[in-house]
Amino acid sequence: MLRTSLIFVVIALLSLPFADLEITTSHPWTELGQIALGAIQPDLSALWQLKTALLNTVVFAFCGTSIGVVLGAGLAFGFSWAPIRLFCVFIRSIHEIFWAFLFLNIVGLNPICGVLSIAIPYAGIFAKVYAEIVQESDKQPLVGIPTGTGVISRFIYGVLPVIYADAKHYTTYRFECALRSSAILGFIGLPTLGYHLETAFREGTYQTAWALLYAFYLLIASLKYWLKPRLTPFYVVGAFTLLSREVTVSWANVLRFFTVDILPWPMRRVGVWSGTNHIDFSLVPVLEWIKDILITEGVEGVWNTLILTQIVLAGTGFFALLVFPFTCRHFSRWPMRPISQYVLVVLRTTPEYLLAYVFVQLWGPSMIPAVWAILLHNGAILAFLTSNNADRLQAQIDRPLRYIDRYFYEVLPRIYGQFLAFLFYRWEVIIRESAILGVLGIYTLGFYIDSAIVDHQLDKATLLILLTGTLNMSIDAVSQRVRRRLQISTKLFVLD
Q: How far is the CB of 76 from another protein (least distance, A)?
A: 23
Q: How far is the CB of 63 from another protein (least distance, A)?
A: 12
What are the distances in angstroms from CA 312 to CA 48, 58, 181, 383, 441?
38, 30, 21, 15, 18
- Where along the sequence are the contacts to another protein (CB under 8 A)? 22, 24-27, 104-105, 108-110, 187-189, 195, 198-200, 202-205, 233-234, 237, 240-241, 244-245, 247-248, 250, 253, 265, 269, 272-273, 275, 364-365, 441, 450-451, 453-457
Nearer to another protein, 370 or 453 (CB): 453
Nearer to another protein, 156 or 247 (CB): 247
Nearer to another protein, 371 or 453 (CB): 453
Nearer to another protein, 292 or 405 (CB): 292
Q: How far is the CB of 190 from another protein (least distance, A)?
A: 9
Q: What is the DSSP letter of 334?
A: T
Nearer to another protein, 135 or 253 (CB): 253
- Rounded CA-CA distance 25/366 in Å is 10
Report the C-alpha dihedral over residues 106, 109, 115, 117, rounded to 10 degrees: 50
Under 8 Å between Cβ of 435 and 445: yes
- Rounded CA-CA distance 100/446 in Å is 13
Nearer to another protein, 354 or 475 (CB): 354
Classified as helix, coil or strand, 330 is coil
Nearer to another protein, 196 or 348 (CB): 196
- Rounded CA-CA distance 358/39 in Å is 14
Q: How far is the CB of 197 from another protein (least distance, A)?
A: 12
- What is the phi-psi region of residue 400: left when phi exceeds 0, alpha when psi lies from -120 to 50, beta otherwise? beta
- Rounded CA-CA distance 229/390 in Å is 30
- Rounded CA-CA distance 50/199 in Å is 12
Classified as helix, coil or strand, 216 is helix
Say how many Å lie between the first and final Cα of the chain, rounded: 21
- Rounded CA-CA distance 32/35 in Å is 5
Going by C-alpha positions, the residue among 281, 256, 233 that lies closest to residue 66 is 233
Under 8 Å between Cβ of 235 and 184: no
**Per residue in 420-438, is it b (16+ CB within 10 Å) or e — as a string?**
bbbbbbbbbbbbbbbbbbb
Q: How far is the CB of 79 from another protein (least distance, A)?
A: 28
Under 8 Å between Cβ of 422 and 443: no
- Rounded CA-CA distance 67/126 in Å is 11
Q: What are phi and psi of 329, to 5 degrees?
A: -70, -15
Nearer to another protein, 397 or 454 (CB): 454
- Rounded CA-CA distance 246/155 in Å is 38
Nearer to another protein, 251 or 334 (CB): 251
Nearer to another protein, 251 or 281 (CB): 251
